[in-house]
Chains A and B, each alone.
Chain A
Amino acid sequence: MNHSTTGDVPVFPNRVRPRYTKAARYAVPLLLTAMLSACMTPPAELDLALSRPTLQQKYVVAIQPMAEPIAINALHSWEVKVATPAGAPVLRANIAVDGGMPQHGHGLPTQPRVTRELGDGRYLLEGMKFSMTGWWEIKLKVDTAEAGTDAVTFNKVISLPVPVKS
């Protein structure tokens, strides 16, 4: 797995800036048209890195689906790798999982959990499911006795399957 430990943490790391601030100057109908054209597509500036430091930089977390591509509506697993900022594996971490679709106002359809520690700072995250295409957030809260609690949010865009030839 590719571990980027460079501290490229944006101030507002996982949420993109509201896109409609400029449009607010125009008349309401125009604004609405702008909103509509953007409703189904994930924001262009979305940071899709699957390896990133936690908010307070206590850990560096990398996540990876166990199999790709991720099928819509299928339960599947991810591997989560937790390291210190210096790159040492973090063992015995408690990891809580949350997430959802910011553009649709709903959470994950399942309640995924880390079910097993795989060694070397790696953890098995089971029970993930994405029920539609689009922008999903995967939020992890990592806690260890040594370094305490910290949080990180990843963005994942689920796209339509490539059509199977009939």
Chain B
Amino acid sequence: MLKRIEMIAIYSAALLVAGAFSAGDASGLSLFNSRNLERWLPEEFAAIMSLRLNQLPAAPADPSNAVENSAAAIELGRRLFADARLSSNSMVSCASCHDPAKQFQDDRPVGQGVGTGGRRSMPIVGLGHSPWLFWDGRKDSAWSQAVGPLEDAVEHGGNRMAYAHQIAAHYRSEYVALFGPLPDLGSLPANASPAGTAVEQIAWQSMDATSRDNVSRIYANMGKAIAAFEKTLRHSPSRLDRYLDAVSKGNSTPQTILSPQEINGLRLFVGKGQCISCHNGPLLTDQQFHNTGVPPRDSMKPDRGRAAAVPKVLQDEFNCLGRYSDAKPEQCNELRFIATNDPHMEGAFKTPGLRGVSLRPPYMHAGQIATLEDVVRHYVNAPHAALGHSELSHLHPEKKPTGKEHLERQPIVLSEAEQRDLVSFLGTLH
């Protein structure tokens, strides 16, 4: 404990030193003037322009989902997404945790379905750009992801056999039009799943292989329809996009769109703050996994993140190489070339996109950080990770430089004023 307090003292000393320096530096708020604001260095200019929404290419096609562009699949998916009958208590739909009125998330620190989960609901807009789904990337497509929560004991809490009966009862004609005839389910149990309760697992084992395959295929097809719908969800341009558009056109009044603080925050985001090195591109994410030392929600059960997810996605019956995928094996390149033994993946989580971020606290994979002020402070403090090693580093003013500092990421040093500017910039992303 004492050690911890010492560390904090050291961080604070470092902050003071850094603050004293940046106050006299041209990027400090004190030296703002309107002419300086629009003067972007060539590297800065290229970096800020790369964040524009109109630079986002179309999401790549998912060869494992043959119906993803079908209007009928999109419509069926839209209905399944909001259908609370697809849960053990008839009260939970995807939309319960992915509320269209809240950027398709729920503002809670951890998901609340038929039970309480261990991670935060993710906003799903733009998911077609992400090769790996979930905070730990344990799914390799949107349809394979969608079948996860339906059988998760604390989310929808249902089972694939029950869902197959629901499809036959409520969506028969829509299903048949898209995927062909439904097999006869009349003789099959009401509830059964290889992933469910002990009773459901026994029921599943009692079914013959063909029936099991038929039911799993209906289940996969539900996922494919939901994925087709999800892929239609797009971001709309933000205040930042309007500002960047004005800058790119040489418009004379871009400062009326962003305030001086917000513009300085943008400069810090693409420069000294290093944020863009992980939060890059129009969605402000590299879609990769990083250990950034965010303290676990439950220190007794630290979350291994990506490291634990790699074996799961490789074994998943619904992955791109599995029997329910529509892809040829050589189209499954993400899975074929997945990094299986990268030590940096211990405690690593997917970089979240930042569009709309200021409207959806709390933050991080289990809602551990309540405000954006505290998020930015986290990057400056850069604590050691509970599990694995943080990619971030902090200042050790008491240590003699070894000359090896260039082999790792440099500390993110920001004065209090700069931290405030960065936070105000994060408010321009919607």
Contacts and interface: CB of A to CB of B under 8 A. Distances in A.
Interface of A: 18-21, 23-24, 28-29, 31-33, 35-36, 38-41, 43, 72-73, 75, 102-113, 126-127, 129, 131-134, 159-164, 166
Interface in B1-59: 17-18, 20-21, 43, 46-47, 49-50, 52, 54-55
Contacts of B54: 164, 166
Contacts of B277: 40, 104, 132-134
Interface string B388-405: 000100010100110111
B225 to A, nearest CB: 27
Contact of A72 (B281, B290, B403): B281
A59 B50 CA distance: 40
B408 interface: yes
B272 A110 contact: no
Given A104-B408, A126-B333, A111 B397 contact: no
A107 B339 contact: yes
B239 to A, nearest CB: 16
14 contacts: A18-B405, A24-B403, A29-B18, A39-B410, A40-B271, A43-B406, A104-B391, A105-B344, A109-B339, A131-B286, A159-B46, A163-B52, A166-B245, A166-B248
Contacts of A111: 337-342
A75 B334 CA distance: 8
B169 to A, nearest CB: 42
A-B pairs with lowest CB-CB distance, top 10: A127-B337, A39-B410, A18-B403, A105-B408, A163-B49, A110-B337, A131-B286, A160-B46, A111-B339, A131-B288
A40 B47 CA distance: 12
Contacts of A132: 277-278, 280, 286
B281 A105 contact: no
B266 interface: no
B333 A31 contact: no
B52 A166 contact: yes
Interface of B: 17-18, 20-21, 43, 46-47, 49-50, 52, 54-55, 245, 248, 271-272, 274, 277-278, 280-281, 286-288, 290, 333-334, 336-342, 344, 391, 395, 397, 400-401, 403-411, 413
Contacts, number: 127
B245 to A, nearest CB: 7
Given A29-B21, A164-B55, A109 B409 contact: no
Contact of A75 (B20, B43, B337, B342): B337
A113 B337 contact: yes
Contacts of A131: 286-288
Given A18-B406, A106-B391, A132-B280, 13 more contacts: A31-B401, A32-B413, A39-B410, A40-B271, A43-B406, A103-B410, A108-B339, A111-B340, A132-B278, A133-B277, A160-B46, A164-B54, A166-B245
Contacts of B341: 111
Contacts of B43: 41
Contacts of B342: 107-108, 111
A163 B397 contact: no
Contact of B281 (A31, A40, A73, A109): A73
Contacts of A106: 290, 344, 391
A91 B132 CA distance: 36
Contacts of A110: 334, 337-339
A20 B52 CA distance: 35
Contacts of A43: 406
B278 A163 contact: no
A111 B49 CA distance: 31
A163 B55 contact: yes
A40 B337 contact: no
Given A133-B280, A163-B50, A102 B55 contact: no
B337 A36 contact: no
Contacts of A33: 21
B406 A163 contact: no
Nearest to A31: B401
Given A113-B337, A127-B337, A131-B286, A105 B410 contact: no
B248 A36 contact: no
B411 to A, nearest CB: 8
A66 to B, nearest CB: 13
Contacts of B55: 161, 163-164
B80 to A, nearest CB: 30
